Chain A
């Protein structure tokens, strides 16, 4: 069944050239599918420390990727991975994930904290994290149904100063107690 060396080389060359000539640059789906190994199919995460990308706005994705690339947002793998893509790639990925339905999660959450968080969010966060965090104003990320451990890791990075808060967020977050913040995260994690 094996081919002689000359036949093999010939087949290699001919097939390769014909395929290469036709191929178009990676599409939004090609770029985004590669993310799904860690962020879940269509950006719906099953891993509690990884965010869902499904339902994020294009602006939020582009902003996050640019900040990962520049190092402005702390990261482990994302800082390096972002360097592998162009700004145009970020826009394509952002458009792709913004078209996916928000990914509902089932988590064990504290009902009292959810209720407390619900009352806090309206007065403090609702102007940017609109629709109970299902959407975000401009490049504000959607928070609804994100995994609680992911939200807690991000909040810890904000509070330690590793991740820089937007000015308006800082004004609201600074006066809040740790219990208040934890309640807010429970609330957002609960929204479906």
Chain B
């Protein structure tokens, strides 16, 4: 299972002379010896792109191979705006990797990662084996679909989208909303926390309600929240729904969906109460991305990956770092901005470790915007650091808080947030 020549050249983005030189140098491409200076990053999203780029920025003598199954990435942040009809297509949310290669020399391998051998320091992929000295996993989330009776991991989302990974699922949900007759019911099911993007389901509620108000005013959205209450920015969402979506949003707390019937278009709450929807957006409970589970990196909860709060190195397998939604990052929420901050700290400490220098304590930020209407947004922010006594990431007191009110200027800042963070990931 060595990396074949065709894929290896593809990996180097057409720089074939460089590819041949590299081939000659290492003998076996990426499956050969690493020279002690290779970091492999798995996952080209909010965490992985930044880890790959920053390692190269900090030390260009370290070889970085970014492995991602797609040739592009679609951002989950702002995808609710597309669902609500505020964006024509997903292009403002889509990045490619070519400039990470051109500007920083990140080698991009488009392949599916199928396994990790932590002892041999090898990643198994659909294009062969890749050896590493340090591995960074930024695999995002996967779904605990086995906890929803009647849910088939492959076929159910084709009619009952989760749209919690942006791309075709996002488009499907919007198409279903557009096709729904006026007077129809949308059902949105929110899993128990922790899940990716704590305010995300409530922003989605707002954006779907906005769409219904404008295009299908006799329709409504029933929100079945498994949590006892709104998980994030509660006061602001309630205020926004009251201001804009009175009679459209029917929010029901402590309603855990345990079953789905695709043919009848119903979800069942705790086995007793059926709720029918013309469009059902069922967001299943979550765990770390599949590869983190396969690699044996999830902790006793079997869902998330415990890591050292300074290096983001797995506390289970040495030499493997886990960042972003998949890891347990203490007080930090599972957000794109958190992944960005975690990636930089992880990159710093990988470079320092490989160069025999001291480790640097984590300092990070989260900033997370949610749209309530076409022109109003709200945010939550915080600064995070390591509490040495607790050996965990904590919020710096006084730094965490939410917008005082719905705000048009915050919507303008939110758009620049997106522009900056996606530019940072792709250039």
Contact = CB atoms under 8 A, between A and B. Distances in A.
Interface in B389-405: 391, 396, 398-401, 403
Contacts of A12: 306, 315-316
Interface of B: 53-54, 57, 294-296, 299-300, 306, 308, 310-311, 313, 315-316, 318, 337, 340-341, 344-345, 348, 358-365, 367, 379, 381-386, 388, 391, 396, 398-401, 403, 407, 409-410, 412-413, 415-421, 423-424, 427
A99 B364 CA distance: 21
Contacts of B383: 81, 83-85
Contact of B361 (A26, A36, A39): A26
Interface of A: 1-3, 5, 8, 11-12, 15-17, 19-20, 22-27, 29-31, 33-41, 45-50, 76-77, 80-81, 83-85, 149, 153
Given A3-B296, A20-B391, 17 more contacts: A5-B300, A8-B316, A15-B308, A16-B308, A19-B313, A22-B359, A23-B358, A24-B358, A25-B361, A29-B348, A30-B361, A36-B424, A37-B337, A38-B420, A47-B420, A77-B413, A85-B383
Contacts of A149: 412
Given A19-B313, A84-B382, A41 B365 contact: no
A8 B300 CA distance: 9
A153 B407 CA distance: 14
Nearest to B379: A77
A168 to B, nearest CB: 27
B399 A81 contact: yes
Nearest to B298: A2
Contacts of A37: 337, 340-341, 365, 367, 417, 420-421, 424
A130 to B, nearest CB: 27
5 contacts: A36-B424, A38-B367, A48-B416, A83-B398, A84-B399
Contacts of B315: 8, 11-12, 15-16
Contacts of A80: 381-382, 398-401
Contacts of A47: 415-420, 423
A61 B402 CA distance: 24
B420 A45 contact: yes
Contact of A40 (B310, B409, B423): B423
A49 B421 contact: no
B233 to A, nearest CB: 13
Q: Is the interface of B mostly helix, strand, loop or mixed?
A: mixed
Contacts of B362: 26, 30
Given A12-B306, A26-B385, A76 B365 contact: no
A141 to B, nearest CB: 18
Nearest to A47: B416
Contact of B391 (A16, A30, A35): A16
A44 to B, nearest CB: 9
Contact of A76 (B410, B418, B419): B410
Nearest to A22: B359
A34 B382 CA distance: 11
A3 B316 contact: yes
A40 B401 contact: no
A149 B420 CA distance: 15
Contacts of A8: 299-300, 315-316
A29 B345 CA distance: 10
Nearest to A45: B420
B363 A30 contact: yes
Contact of A49 (B299, B360, B413, B423): B413
B359 A23 contact: yes
A12 B407 CA distance: 44
B311 A19 contact: yes
B68 to A, nearest CB: 20
A12 B303 CA distance: 17
B318 A15 contact: yes
A81 B381 contact: yes
B379 to A, nearest CB: 6
Given A37-B424, A83-B399, A22 B358 contact: yes
A20 B388 contact: yes
Contacts of A33: 54, 341, 344, 348
A181 B364 CA distance: 37
A8 B348 CA distance: 26
Which 10 pairs between the two chains have the least Cβ-Cβ distance? A84-B383, A47-B416, A84-B399, A1-B296, A26-B363, A46-B423, A84-B396, A47-B419, A12-B315, A83-B398
B420 A39 contact: yes
A71 to B, nearest CB: 12
Contacts of B53: 41
A76 B399 contact: no
Given A27-B360, A84-B398, A35 B416 contact: no
Contacts of A83: 383, 396, 398-399
Contacts of B367: 37-38, 77, 81
Contacts of B294: 1
A48 B419 contact: yes
A97 to B, nearest CB: 15
A20 B295 contact: no
